[in-house]
Structure 1
Amino acid sequence: MTTERVMSAALHVVDTEGVDALTMRRLGQELDRDPMALYRYAANRAALLDGIAELVMGQLVIATSGADWREPLRRAAHDFRALALAHPNVVPLLATRPLATPLGLRPPGTLRPLEQVLDLLISAGFAPARALHVYRTFFGLLYGHVLNELQEVVVDPEETDALLRLGLHRLPPREFPRLRSVAPDLLAGYDGAVELDQALDLLLTGLHPAPAGGTHPS
């Protein structure tokens, strides 16, 4: 038994059953071990959640060099989206877990993307404070995008009517006429990767390095 195996099993439980299903007892069943023995690898449920976040974010590697600093960020955005789609039940955990833990106490694996983005941008000429601002804006965009994309869930794939497929027929027509009217558009031609690229175009084309102590170009 190793910490990596325990965290991988915990991730599997969350992937298949949701975050609320993860308990030491359930994890013990997954690993065929006495739940009390697992406290050697995770002090409590909070440590399990931190471990899951670190395991997933550890798969995101952001290049810290390149001819154009925008390209590593664009690749990282699509890699992050792929991770989110592979582990949709973990996304809310990634978005909210840091709020419960001071920066310096977070698992190192969850901080590496921050370190890598700072390294990339500062090496490209961004002042440190501006690089930090770009990091926050960049990941704010990513979390917002994947949370929106994951909401586009088809309730009944066997239905041909858009309202029924999305479950929007349950909404009162008088209260949600506009939302019901765009149901076909929610399904027709939606491409999360394309929409992410469009959002990245808006963000990245407006960013430019500024020297330390200098002014930011408009």
Structure 2
Amino acid sequence: MTDRTPAARRGRPPKGAGQLTRAGIIEATLKVIGSDCVGAVGVRAVARQLGVDPKSLYNHVDGKDGLLDAVAEHLLGSLELPSRTGDLRVDLRAIADAFRRRALRHPAAAALVLTRQLGSAEGLAPVQAVLEVLRSAGCSPEEAVHLLRTVLATLVGTLLREVNAGPTYGTGDLPGIAARRATLERSGLPAVVEAAPYLARFDSEAEFDYAMELALDAVVARIEAVTRDG
């Protein structure tokens, strides 16, 4: 995120400028993302959603990057971070679960936490929480950053799969499962045919649990290896 503050503009304020708030702009940006995609975000698109002159947004955000940073900060800053228990696995999983609950309110915007370089205390609060857990477990600052990125990539990647799950990942309704399984079994590919009953079914909760537990297994094993080897 840039640290620049948009310069105050002189003269008559643009249409709707006096009614705008940063919270309102963030909400409008989330609506654009939800109805179209992150790529559709822009000053004009958000202004159209708000029914105001695009120039009025520059009193609150610094263009498209400012809009995306604001949404990412909103997602991260509004997380209800759990209290630490002192147990590495429990604490990391609790943070992941809190992020999932928050992200699923605006699933199309979840990837922004991986693509924005945030610098505010609000945006960095979850990073601080994860780093504290990892450092308390004996990680060096460098190792903690590697593990942070690994956990975050697993978390967001799993959420994006959950939100965008299509026939490739299977489905949850019985007719859909049956149709997908039949398609897979007709593929003629031995490994695919063998796995067809499982490939045809997609349970987002179970997949999230599996992915996070696998990632946490790797984190715990890595920390144990590093601390054992000094």
Q: Which residues of 2 match residues 125-144 of structure 1 at below 5 A?
A: 125-144=138-157
- Aligned counterparts of 2:223 and 2:193: Cα–Cα separation in 1: 46
- Aligned counterparts of 1:22 and 1:149: Cα–Cα separation in 2: 22
Q: Deviations over 1:27-86 (max 9, x none)?
A: 222222211111111121111111111111223343462141321211221222233333
Relative distance call for 1:217 and 1:196 in structure 2 (3 A) is farther
SS across alignment from 2:227: coil
Q: Is 2:37–2:108's contact at 8 Å kept on the other side of the alignment?
A: yes
Q: Which residue in 1 is equivalent to 2:227? A: 216
Relative distance call for 1:63 and 1:208 in structure 2 (3 A) is farther
**TM-score with structure 1 setting the length:** 0.73
**TM-score with structure 2 setting the length:** 0.70
SS across alignment from 1:42: coil
- Aligned counterparts of 1:177 and 1:84: Cα–Cα separation in 2: 37
Q: State the Cα distance separating 1:119 from its structure 2 match.
A: 1.6
Structure 2: tracts of 5 or more residues without a match:
1-19
- Aligned counterparts of 1:52 and 1:175: Cα–Cα separation in 2: 46
Q: Which residue in 2 is equivalent to 1:160? A: 175
Name which one, 1 or 2, has greater alpha-carbon Rg. 2
Select between 34-43 and 154-163 the one with higher mean Cα deviation. Answer: 154-163
SS across alignment from 2:131: helix
Structure 1: tracts of 5 or more residues without a match:
none
Relative distance call for 1:107 and 1:158 in structure 2 (3 A) is same
- Aligned counterparts of 1:67 and 1:215: Cα–Cα separation in 2: 19
CA RMSD in angstroms, aligned pairs only = 3.7
- Which of 151, 176, 197 lines up with 2:209 in the alignment? 197
- Which of 88, 98, 109 lines up with 1:90 in the alignment? 109
Q: State the Cα distance separating 1:157 from its structure 2 match.
A: 9.3
- Aligned counterparts of 1:18 and 1:183: Cα–Cα separation in 2: 32
- Which of 162, 170, 173 lines up with 1:149 in the alignment? 162
Q: Is 1:50–1:107's contact at 8 Å kept on the other side of the alignment?
A: no
State the aligned residue count: 206
Select between 142-151 and 36-45 the one with higher mean Cα deviation. Answer: 142-151
Q: Which residues of 2 match residues 7-156 of structure 1 at below 5 A?
A: 7-63=26-82, 65-95=84-114, 97-98=115-116, 101=117, 106-153=119-166
SS across alignment from 2:175: coil
Q: Which residues of 2 match residues 180-195 of structure 1 at below 5 A?
A: 184-188=197-201, 190-195=202-207
- Aligned counterparts of 2:21 and 2:228: Cα–Cα separation in 1: 50
